[in-house]
Chains A and B, each alone.
Chain A
Amino acid sequence: MGQRTLADTIREITRNHLEHNNGLLLGESITAVGWVNNTVPDCRGIVELPMTDVAGAGIAVGAALAGRRPIFVIRFQDFLILNGSPLIYYAAKVKELHGSTAPVFVRAIATDNLGPVHSGVLHSIFMHFPGFRVWAPMTPGEYEDTWKDYLSHDDPMIVSEYRLSYATTGEYRDRRTDGAEITLFAISSPRLEVEKASEILSTRGIKSNIVHIVRLKPFDIDEGRMLEPLRASKRGLVIDSGHEIAGAGRSIAYELSSASGCRVNALGLKDATKCLSAPLRNAAPDAARIVETVTALLQR
């Protein structure tokens, strides 16, 4: 475990981009209320947008057309519904239609327990549309890889972040367990819970493998890292922080199942609105829900 947090990493990447790479960072209320959880540096190149979701995204895409490789900060992923049209209808289409590019780096921040329009996880929607790269980094090393990938391509990138991961200092490792009965593929915030879930399952006599998934689209199936543990365990479960129906979890489960011939299920949010009240928050699957689901799947 190093001491540099994910927030430190994002801030350093951003400072270098803005001060040395002619980059821009655009967003609403960036330079107030904690500078986006201390992920934004106080330096040149920051553009405070008025509260103009839609136009703000269009301005960011225009800056991308100008070659500035802008970082566009969305404080709550739910706001991507408003900001989505310039991203989906222009940035993601301009390469195929016109051969030019609009590489905008969209920091889409998710969190839980803030009610119906501040707790959403929308990376699945952007996986649906052609033209995006969609990643969900949760650690310093993963974020650096994400940024390198963005710079080495010319596509708009949706970076699905999770607020509670900003204090993370270490890296998550996949785990293979002899005799595992199921392989747990974790995406986004459930990754913070999956090891705990695996330990609980172990105490109940159920061994499990863990595979961490960062790159949602394009989703490249890794034979050694994904299919080997899946084939060995014969069952899989993809756990995502977004809604389960038509979501990233089911999509990736389908791909893993098709590639392996093994049965792979998906676990995500229930088909219910996220309410502000505790019993009805419909938060991302935690260790208890993962354990409950695995136990049911294995009929134990």
Chain B
Amino acid sequence: MLQRTPDLGVLPELSRSADPGQSLEVFRRMCRSRYFELGALRAAEARQLNSNVYLSLGQESIAAALSLALAEFIIFAQHRCHATYLAFGGDPAKLRDELVGLPSGTSGGRGGSNCLQCHENGVAMYGHHGLIGENVPLGVGMALGSGKPVVCFFGDGAAEEDYVFAAMGFAVTHKLPVLFVCEDNDLSILTNVSVRRSWSVVRVAEALGMPAIDIADDPWTALFRAAALKQDLPAFMNIRTCRANWHVGTGVDGPPEWDRFALVKDAFARNGLVAKANVLEAAEKVAMEQIWDNELLRTLSGK
């Protein structure tokens, strides 16, 4: 298997050659997720939420990039889905309310952090129920039944589920328009991929007969490759990324292997977009702080 590095498969010239407006929009979506989740983290630690949280912190760039490439796709997200929900256009206030357990939440407060859905504002996102990889055959069935393009997000642990392979194979047999995206943070709870298996999911996808790539979570590369692969579905993307917090909850076990958020800002510094990026970041920070306003949260949560 290829080694995990922040520049695995990255096309460095893309950060310079990409449309600045598109680059900044990807970053804005990363900022939305990051600052929303920093607020959620504080609320969780203050015990103002009604469910456990599965934070996307550190992994935001994947959803931010792919939401631009796959805007018309039906989404079958994994359990770690805050970034997916927010990047594709979900309402942050409804997500907050879901975490607080309110009827105004994305599923009326019944689902919680790992069960988010969105069926408004042109977004079709189906909620996960918590059985990892379950969304892959469901997404394949949706593509079969609707004929519409589907993106299935799952982690490197879910990729090991037998029904995930079987569903991917079915998609190949029936030439279904599904993009399979493995958000590979190298962790199943805290067990590394190398401890769990000796084989590569990318090689399995190739063996099933679909295009498959293995890249790090550089958003320019992810967007570029997804835009190309969606012309040749079904296809598979393994995207190496770093989860900043525990599998569930707000704890931290140490610094992540790399910080994509900082790396993206470094790229903006190199290509002259840092000032505009800073303005966007500040605006999203303020907007998400308003979502998590202490006074409002106390009123909503009663805590």
Contacts of A68 in B (CB 8 A): 145
CB distance from A112 to the nearest CB of B (A): 30
The tally of residues in A whose CB lies under 8 Å from a CB in B reads: 32
Of the listed stretches B56-64, B165-173, B236-244, B249-257, name the one at the interface; the rest are far from the partner chain.
Answer: B165-173
Of all chain A residues, the one with the shortest Cβ separation from B115 is A97
Interface membership of chain B positions 98-117, coded 1 if the CB is closer than 8 angstroms to chain A and 0 otherwise: 00000000011011000101
Query: With the chains together, A111 CA to B21 CA distance in Å?
Result: 64
Task: Determine whether B219 belongs to the interface, using a CB cutoff of 8 Å to chain A.
Answer: no
Query: With the chains together, A86 CA to B137 CA distance in Å?
Result: 9
Task: Determine whether A191 belongs to the interface, using a CB cutoff of 8 Å to chain B.
Answer: no
Of all chain A residues, the one with the shortest Cβ separation from B167 is A55
Residue contact A63 to B170, C-beta cutoff 8 Å: no
Contacts of B163 in A (CB 8 A): 52, 54-55, 58
Residue contact B145 to A85, C-beta cutoff 8 Å: no
Main secondary structure on A side of the interface with B: helix
Interface membership of chain A positions 90-109, coded 1 if the CB is closer than 8 angstroms to chain B and 0 otherwise: 10011011111000000000
Main secondary structure on B side of the interface with A: helix
Asked whether A98 and B107 contact (CB < 8 A) given A55-B163, A59-B170, A62-B142, the answer is yes
CB distance from A181 to the nearest CB of B (A): 49
Residue contact A100 to B117, C-beta cutoff 8 Å: yes
Residue contact B138 to A62, C-beta cutoff 8 Å: yes
Interface membership of chain A positions 67-104, coded 1 if the CB is closer than 8 angstroms to chain B and 0 otherwise: 11010000000000000011001100110111110000
Task: Determine whether A24 belongs to the interface, using a CB cutoff of 8 Å to chain B.
Answer: yes
Residue contact B141 to A61, C-beta cutoff 8 Å: yes
Query: With the chains together, A59 CA to B134 CA distance in Å?
Result: 10
Asked whether A63 and B142 contact (CB < 8 A) given A55-B166, A85-B134, A99-B107, the answer is yes
Of all chain B residues, the one with the shortest Cβ separation from A52 is B166
Residue contact B138 to A58, C-beta cutoff 8 Å: yes
Query: With the chains together, A90 CA to B138 CA distance in Å?
Result: 9
Query: With the chains together, A68 CA to B126 CA distance in Å?
Result: 16
CB distance from B110 to the nearest CB of A (A): 5
Task: Determine whether B121 belongs to the interface, using a CB cutoff of 8 Å to chain A.
Answer: no
Contacts of A52 in B (CB 8 A): 163, 166-167, 169-170
Contacts of B170 in A (CB 8 A): 49-50, 52, 55, 59
Residue contact A97 to B119, C-beta cutoff 8 Å: no
Contacts of A59 in B (CB 8 A): 137-138, 140-141, 144, 167, 170
Q: Can you list 22 contacts pairing A with B, beta carbon distance less than 8 Å?
A: A24-B144, A47-B144, A50-B166, A50-B170, A52-B170, A55-B166, A57-B137, A58-B137, A58-B138, A59-B137, A61-B137, A62-B137, A62-B142, A63-B142, A66-B145, A68-B145, A86-B134, A86-B138, A89-B134, A90-B134, A98-B110, A98-B117
Q: Which residues of A contact B (CB under 8 A)?
A: 24, 47, 49-50, 52, 54-68, 70, 85-86, 89-90, 93-94, 96-100
